[in-house]
């Protein structure tokens, strides 16, 4: 089995623009062990020599070897079973499949027309036959794909990419609670929430937040065979009055309780970083290098995933072979090998093959491998929820030999310019309206997204649709991932795209 660890952190820092705010001291209670030694035994002082990595690499750097943080499970994670047992939420509401009219069959739902009737038909066809929670996750995934494309345009073709769409959507949904009408409309339009609300007359803006609460319940409960956690923090500058509605709703929908802090105090950085280290099991270290002392509000979202392959990759079958970065450059990297029954498909329109690697539990990694090294650009440009749904519906199961690289990615992005490109401009200007959040005028001046993923032999720690040009992968016996590929981690009960990325060079961290 192939283990992968993925960790993502989204940070939103808001500058000027406390009644009832929880004191910080209780938030940081229960100190963590000394984080100075690298809990993964990795030396961050320089680059990693992939040739020098032994075959037992996974025994020291695997998601199945949990770091020990005393009291983590009982004190720092939300007990959703208790919440649900108390009747605090209608657990079945997100599973409702209410009727949505089916558009005329001759309408091209894949076009991008100016006619609002065709746009509406495209929207309804996309959402037809899906539960409310699945519909929201379709929106979240498409936002993630668009954000990925924006990031891709800012980096080199040989750079790796790592993104956590679910964490970003959760953070943006929480931020929209404090937005005034104009800014709120811009957030909803840019992220696709407006499309979701318009899909049914039963929906309104509150439906989005209720379903994010539902998504938190559904994704981040225990005993699913994997570990997936999401934690939100809200820090406010002392003497700033937060609006009662914002405080109440962030706690009700996103399980975040505002904390009163002094951003000028150096101890804040140390305590906040130790908390992040703890909640992400040591995988994200010191993401907050500095904080503007004039900061008014900081929103953070941590997303942690640990999964174990249903079919582990035998470590004795891991060997070094060439990975083709491009037509001229190869690197030698450890390649994991296994034989078993795997689901796969072929997308002839996008000229790529797709492999599904399941984790224990209803979650899996999809690998999309262009048949040509030069085909990555087309795949990145065209990938969408509709495309992924076609892949999943058209897979066939057969015995295959699978060869995939062992890799570890750490990525850190400042996303302000990317979100501006996607239409979120008011958030970062004086014209932005966050009057529902605090009494002072606030402007976001820093937005950070950071993630880590490790993939090795154990696992990972981090509606009718057209089928033109799409056939089951029936002839391929070997699936060798030896050139740049995309990976997607999907939770299948909710259709949630948790993580996605590009491995262009597995020898680069």
More confident residue, 446 or 271: 271
Strand pairing category for 485-491 and 363-370: antiparallel
User: Helix, strand, coil shares of the chain as percentages rounded to 5?
Assistant: 30, 30, 40
Radius of gyration of the chain (CA): 22
pLDDT band at 139 (very low <50, low <70, confident <90, very high): very high
pLDDT band at 72 (very low <50, low <70, confident <90, very high): very low
- By C-alpha distance, which of 303, 278, 272 is closest to 34? 278
pLDDT at 4: 36
- By C-alpha distance, which of 493, 462, 506, 484 is closest to 164? 462
pLDDT at 122: 72
Residue 447 has pLDDT above 70, yes or no: yes
pLDDT at 40: 25
229-260 pLDDT tens trace? 777 888 888 888 888 999 899 988 988 888 88
Residue 44 has pLDDT above 50, yes or no: no
Question: Which domains can be identified in the chain, with CATH numbers?
Answer: 7-25+117-304+411-455 (3.30.497.10), 315-408+460-503 (2.30.39.10)
Do 366 and 32 touch, CB atoms closer than 8 A? no
pLDDT at 137: 93
Q: Kindly report which listed range (379-383, 463-467, 484-488) carries the lowest average pLDDT score.
A: 463-467
Residue 111 has pLDDT above 70, yes or no: no
| Mean of pLDDT values over 473-480 | 64
Residues 6+ apart with CB under 8 A from 296: 14, 15, 16, 17, 236, 237, 240, 438, 440, 442
pLDDT at 486: 95
Do 342 and 357 touch, CB atoms closer than 8 A? yes
Q: Coil, strand, or helix at residue 39?
A: coil
pLDDT band at 370 (very low <50, low <70, confident <90, very high): very high
Residue 479 has pLDDT above 60, yes or no: yes
| Mean of pLDDT values over 432-459 | 79
**What length does the chain have?**
509
Backbone angles phi, psi at 453, to 5 degrees: -140, 135
pLDDT at 221: 62
* DSSP single-letter state for residue 52: G
Residue 188 has pLDDT above 90, yes or no: yes
Residue 466 has pLDDT above 80, yes or no: no
| Mean of pLDDT values over 363-383 | 93
Residue 68 has pLDDT above 50, yes or no: no
| Mean of pLDDT values over 185-202 | 89
Could you count the other beta carbons within 10 Å of the beta carbon of residue 302? 24
Mean pLDDT over each residue of the chain, to the nearest integer: 75
| Mean of pLDDT values over 287-293 | 77
| Mean of pLDDT values over 288-300 | 79
Do 425 and 417 touch, CB atoms closer than 8 A? no
More confident residue, 65 or 504: 504
Residue 464 has pLDDT above 50, yes or no: no
Structure tokens belonging to residue 107: 């309408």
Where is mean pLDDT largest: 58-72, 122-136, 201-215, 460-474? 201-215
Residue 332 has pLDDT above 90, yes or no: yes
More confident residue, 440 or 177: 177
| Mean of pLDDT values over 76-89 | 49
Could you count the other beta carbons within 10 Å of the beta carbon of residue 69? 18
Residue 383 has pLDDT above 90, yes or no: yes
Residue 127 has pLDDT above 90, yes or no: no
pLDDT band at 108 (very low <50, low <70, confident <90, very high): low
Where is mean pLDDT largest: 169-173, 309-313, 359-363, 485-489? 485-489
Residue 110 has pLDDT above 60, yes or no: no
pLDDT at 99: 66
pLDDT at 2: 38
pLDDT at 73: 39
Residue 17 has pLDDT above 60, yes or no: no
- By C-alpha distance, which of 328, 329, 326 is closest to 374? 326
Q: How far apart are the first and last CA of the chain?
A: 22
More confident residue, 338 or 399: 338
More confident residue, 206 or 32: 206
pLDDT at 91: 46
CA angle 257-259-260, nearest 5°? 150
């Amino acid at each position: 089995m192939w283990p992968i660890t993925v960790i993502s952190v989204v940070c939103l820092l808001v500058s000027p623009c406390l009644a009832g705010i929880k004191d910080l001291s209780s938030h940081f209670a229960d100190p963590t062990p000394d984080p100075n030694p690298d809990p993964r035994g990795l030396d961050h002082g320089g680059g990693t020599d992939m040739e020098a990595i032994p075959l037992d690499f996974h025994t020291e750097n695997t998601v199945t070897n949990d770091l020990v943080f005393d009291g983590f499970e009982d004190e720092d994670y939300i007990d959703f079973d208790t919440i649900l047992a108390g009747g605090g939420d209608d657990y079945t509401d997100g599973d409702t499949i209410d009727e949505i009219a089916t558009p005329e069959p001759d309408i091209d739902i894949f076009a991008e027309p100016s006619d609002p009737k065709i746009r509406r038909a495209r929207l309804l066809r996309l959402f037809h036959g899906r539960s409310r929670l699945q519909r929201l996750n379709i929106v979240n995934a498409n936002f993630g794909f668009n954000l990925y494309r924006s990031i891709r345009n800012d980096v080199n073709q040989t750079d790796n990419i790592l993104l956590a769409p679910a964490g970003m959507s959760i953070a943006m949904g929480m931020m929209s609670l404090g937005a005034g009408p104009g800014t709120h409309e811009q957030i909803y339009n840019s992220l696709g929430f407006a499309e979701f609300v318009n899909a049914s007359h039963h929906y309104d803006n509150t439906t989005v937040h209720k379903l994010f609460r539902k998504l938190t319940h559904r994704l981040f409960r225990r005993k699913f065979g994997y570990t997936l956690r999401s934690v939100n923090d809200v820090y406010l500058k002392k003497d700033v009055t937060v609006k009662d509605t914002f405080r109440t709703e962030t706690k009700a929908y996103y399980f975040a309780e505002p904390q009163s802090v002094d951003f000028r105090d150096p101890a804040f950085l140390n305590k906040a970083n130790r908390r992040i280290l703890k909640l992400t099991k040591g995988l994200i270290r010191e993401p907050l290098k500095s904080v503007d002392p004039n900061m008014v509000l900081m929103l953070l979202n941590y997303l942690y995933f640990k999964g174990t392959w249903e079919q582990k990759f035998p470590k004795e079958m891991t060997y070094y072979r060439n990975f083709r970065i491009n037509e001229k450059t190869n690197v030698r990297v450890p390649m994991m090998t296994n034989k078993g029954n795997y689901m796969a498909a072929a997308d002839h329109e996008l000229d790529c093959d797709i492999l599904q690697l399941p984790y224990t539990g209803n979650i899996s990694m999809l690998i999309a491998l262009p048949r040509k090294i030069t085909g990555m650009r087309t795949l990145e440009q065209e990938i969408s929820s509709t495309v992924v749904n076609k892949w999943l519906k058209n897979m066939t199961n057969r015995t295959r030999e699978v060869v995939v690289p062992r890799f570890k990615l750490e990525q850190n992005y400042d996303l302000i310019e990317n979100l501006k490109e996607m239409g979120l401009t008011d958030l970062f200007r004086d014209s932005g309206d966050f009057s529902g959040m605090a009494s002072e005028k606030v402007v976001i001046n820093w937005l950070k997204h950071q993630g880590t993923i490790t993939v090795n032999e154990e696992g990972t720690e981090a509606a009718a649709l057209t089928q033109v040009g799409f056939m089951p992968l029936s002839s391929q016996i070997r699936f060798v991932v030896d050139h740049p590929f995309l990976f997607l981690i999907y939770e299948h009960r909710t259709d949630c795209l948790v993580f996605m990325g590009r491995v262009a060079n597995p020898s680069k961290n």
